Structure 1
Amino acid sequence: MLRAAVLVPDTALLVPGAAGRAVVLDEIRAAALEEVRDMVATAPDRVVVVAPGAADRVVAGRVVASLAAAGVDDAALGWRATGGSAPERGADEPMASTATSVALLLLAAAGWSGPTTVVETAVSVETAASSAQALRDRGASLVDGSAPVVLVLAGSLSARHGPDAPLADDPRAATADDALLADLRAADPEARRRLADVPAELARDLAMTVWAPLQVLLGAVGTTPVEPRIAEVAAPWGVPYVVARWVPADGSPEGRLGGGAAAVTT
C-alpha cells in the first residue's frame, strides 16, 4: 500500500559538503529534508528508493551509498549513511549509483534507519514503449499488499533549460519542464496520462533523469486519488530541481498539504 511518494533532486550537490565550502541549494535541500522527514514520521514498513542507475536492478538488502563516483570525498559530507547504506563496503556488497546515494543520504539525515529497497533504472530509448509499461508494472508491484510503503524518487528535469544549463540549450526544454511541473501539481487522471505519455526520446534529448522514476510512481499510484504538493522549485544552473510529493487522498500524513503554483526560474 502506497502511503506517500516524495520526489527529490538527484544531484550530488543536494548533500551538504558536496560543493566544498560553497553554499548551494540551501532552500531545495531544506525542503527535501522536511518532506522526507514528514514521510518517515508516518512509520512505513519500508522505504523504496527509485533512482537512475547504470543498469536495471532491485536491491532489497544492503547497498553502499557513496558520492565518490561524482568526484566527492565522502568524508567531507555533512550527511552520513547509516546501517545498510554506510560507506564501508564488503566484498560482495553493491555500490549505489550517485542518484541513489543522494536519496539514501537524505533518508539517513531525515532519521530513517528501517528497511529500504533500492530500485535503479536504466531505460533504453530503443525499447522505450515497453520500458515505460515495465516501469509502471514495477511501481504497482512495489506497493502491492497491505504494508505501508513510502517511495523516494530521485531525478531532475531538463539539463538543457536556458543558457546556464550544463548541456547545450534546447528550445523544447522550457515548455517540457513547465508542462511536467504543471502535471505533477495537478496529479489528476489527465495529468497522469500526459506524464505517462512523455516520450522517452524527448526525455533523453533533454537529459531528464526524472522520466523513469515518474513511470514507477504512476504505476504505484494507479488510479488512486492523490493530494499533490510542489514544495520547492529552483533552477540555479539551468537544471530545474523539484521537491514534490503525492499522498493518497485516503492516507494523508499529518502536515502541510497545500501549496501554490511554482514556476521554473533560471
Structure 2
Amino acid sequence: MLVAAAVCPCPPLLVPEVAAGAAPELDTARAACADALGVLAAAHPDRLVVVGPAERSGQGLYPEGARGSFRGFGVDLEVRLGIDPGVGPGGGRPDSTAPERELPASLAVAAWLLRRTDWSHAPVEGLGVGEPLAAERCIQSGREIVARAERVALLVMGDASACRSLKAPGYLDERAAGFDARVAHALAAADVAALKALDAELAHELMASGRAPWQVLAGAAEGAGLSGALLYEDAPYGVGYLVAAWS
C-alpha cells in the first residue's frame, strides 16, 4: 500500500556543484524537496521506490547501491542510491560487488537528494521509466510497485513542460502554462484520475519528462486515500518545476 509520496523535479542543476554560480537560484526548490522527503520519512515506510524518467538504455530496476554520477555535466561527483558514496552499510567502503549499470540522470539527482537529507528510514530501489511508455503501462507499474510491500513510499522525479519561455529548451509554447497548471492542481489535490488522464502526446510535445513517472504514481495511489500539498511551483529557466507531498 502507498503510504506517502514526494514529487520533485529532476534537473541536474538541483545539485549545487553542477549549477555552480547559479546554485542560489534553486535554493527554494531544494528546500521544498527536503520538506517533501521529510513527509516520506514521517510515514515510516517499509520500502522507498524512486521513479524517474530514463532513456531507453536506462529503463528498468536499480537496486540499492546503484551508482550514478554527474561527470556528464562536467562535475566529478558520484552518488549511490540509498548509500553514501564512500560509506558502506557497516560504515566502511561500499561493497565492490554493487551493480555497475549507472543510474539515469533523474535517479542520480534523487540519490543526491536522499544523501542530502540523510535518508536511512527504509531500503531504497529505483525504477527508470521511458518517456514513450503508455499511460496504461505506467499505471500498471505503479500498482505492481505497491503490491510488493506493506508500506511503500514513492519519490517521483520529473519536470513539467520545457516550453515556458523564449529561452526554454523547447522554446515558447502557449499550451505549456496550462498543461503545467493542470499538473500542479492534480498534485496539490492528490487527484489520481487527473494524473491518469494526462495527454501523453501533448506532454511529449511540451518536453514534460515527468508525465510517465506521475502516471506511475497514479497507479500506485489508487485506493490509498492520500491528501496532497503543493510545496513549490516555478519555471525559472522556462522549465516547469513542481514539488509536492502526498500523505
Report the TM range for the smaller structure's normalisation. Answer: 0.7 to 0.9
- 1:226 aligned counterpart, secondary structure: coil
* Within-5 A mapping of 1:224-243: 224-243=224-243
TM-score of the pair, normalised by structure 1 = 0.81
1:168 aligns with 2:209: no
Output the TM-score relative to the length of structure 2.
0.86
- SS of equivalent residue, structure 2 residue 31: helix
- Do the aligned partners of residues 172 and 4 (structure 1) sit closer, same or farther apart at CA in structure 2, a change above 3 Å counting? same
* 2:39 match: 38
8 Å CA contact retained: 1:62, 1:94:
no
Q: How far is 1:84 from its partner?
A: 4.0
User: What does residue 104 of structure 2 align with?
Assistant: 97
Partner of 2:184: 181
**1:133 and 2:140 correspond:** no
How far apart are residue 159 of structure 1 and its match? 0.3
**1:78-123 CA deviation, whole Å, 9 max, x = no partner?**
xx65764638886852110111100111012112134111100113
Is 230-239 or 109-118 further displaced after alignment? Answer: 109-118
Matched, 1:106 2:106: no
Does residue 65 of the first structure (1) align with residue 68 of the second (2)? yes
Percent pairwise identity: 33
| AA partner of residue 131 (structure 2) | V
- The runs of 5 or more residues in structure 2 that have no matched partner are 87-93
Give the SS at the match of 2:140. helix
Q: Choose which of 131, 150, 174 in structure 2 pairs with 1:123.
A: 131
Q: Deviations over 1:183-217 (max 9, x none)?
A: 222234xxx33321222111111000110001100
CA offset at residue 31 of structure 1? Answer: 0.9
State the distance in 1 between where 2:62 and 2:100 align. Answer: 10
State the distance in 2 between where 1:195 and 1:50 align. 15
Q: Give the paired residue count.
A: 235
Q: Which amino acid aligns with 2:100?
A: E
Gaps of 5+ in 1: 248-266
Per the alignment, do residues 141 and 91 of structure 1 end up closer, same or farther by CA in structure 2, a change over 3 Å counting?
Answer: closer
Whole-angstrom distance in 2 between the partners of 1:204 and 1:85: 34
Aligned to 1:13: 13
Whichever residue aligns with residue 223 of structure 1, its letter is: G
Whether the 8 Å contact between 1:2 and 1:150 is mirrored in structure 2 is: yes
For 2:180 and 2:16, the matched residues in 1 are separated by 26
Task: State how 1:188-207 maps to structure 2 within 5 Å.
Answer: 188=191, 192-207=192-207
Contact 2:9 2:159 in 1 (8 A): yes
Match of 2:90? none
Q: Which amino acid in 1 is paired with 2:85? A: A
What amino acid sits opposite 2:46 in the alignment? D
Instruction: Report deviation, 1:71.
Output: 3.0
Residues 18, 74 of structure 2: 8 Å contact kept? no
State the distance in 1 between where 2:155 and 2:212 align: 13
Determine helix, strand or coil for the equivalent of 2:223: coil
Distance 2:18 2:46 in 1: 30
Paired residue secondary structure (1:10): coil
Counterpart of 1:260 in structure 2 is: none
Using the alignment, how far apart are the partners of 2:245 and 2:82 within structure 1?
26
